[in-house]
Chains A and B, each alone.
Chain A
């Protein structure tokens, strides 16, 4: 055995040392099942793999703001869904009431949501830092109810949807499949948002000071950092991203007062799978859930085809899939995929 081979074996052993046997077996089984699906139904497999990637990036957009506020500030922000919903309503009003073009609405609405978020942080959440997470959860749940009822009062109970920009209607041919143009635009904005947020948190003084403040607030303030201002700015950023998610969503699917609750659960699922405190984890989890949601039915139908057991192809399993993924991940790794011990990194 030459040195290169020995090195490779050593590195592989080192990597596998941290992997539980259950995870290893699960990975092998998943690979076999996916391979079977790709062989049995190649066309559908490709369609669903790309569809899952697109949907996964949409989930990333949904959960990014929540991951930021929860991971860095330790606030279990149930109002994330309400901010997301407000992004949709503000975008609708900007476009339909004030006649702004879509691109302008995409800037104005998230900033307006950010301002609402600052109001929430200053009036309510600032008083709750350092308390147990359940207090923040209850407070933000109350805020959610207030925002929902306010939205119902202002915009009514019916669903609202602004017109989609002409250039983003229809589909785009990706050679192997065809995807809605607007969805691709959402993926682009989502990827851009992830990159900007990641840079801000990891590579700027602002991000560093916020992370330092979370770890040791007293010491951080002692060296002259205005921590309340930093936290407010971080909540503003999280709210802007939630608003941006809502703004993107409303044009495709509309918004109604139930939107807040519809998406916040899914966003929490993604953050928990990814691991609280890890932005990278949320990205991976979003993609994982997206792929699972699109590919698991193909895997089951292909398995049913091979084994001849029709019962394997469970119809209507779609809605359960994010939760099944969460259960599976938490069984193997209770902190989530990339989470650190405890609530905060």
Chain B
């Protein structure tokens, strides 16, 4: 006892504490860290037990781009009918994509959609410098990370004509 220091009272009138507080502080810090790590590990484990197959989620989200008239799908102005699988070239731009996939959250799936056609210049503007027949648009949460890519044959609608085309879908998470 003789080597213990007295923190609050030289006359031992208050709490008498020695190395014990240091032990308590270290123990509490260690226990708290262990608890947080343990909780985090459990949460991760629980999440990993319920993973949606990547293809399923990607298909649902890709369908949104191709099927919804609010996205890229061609819609007949007269009848209001939407044509799933037919891309309206006028809608193929970043603004339209942002309207139908409005997130900047990088933890969610991000898409890069490239359109190519053997018999249509894309983008179609005559004064465009880009003469390649391939053009891409990005969702707002796209970042420079690794991605996987698939493709899908589509029909492109442009100025009352229909063209064959292919949509390259790059997905990033």
Chains A and B bind each other = no
Instruction: Give chain A's interface residues, CB within 8 Å of chain B.
Output: none
Instruction: Give chain B's interface residues, CB within 8 Å of chain A.
Output: none
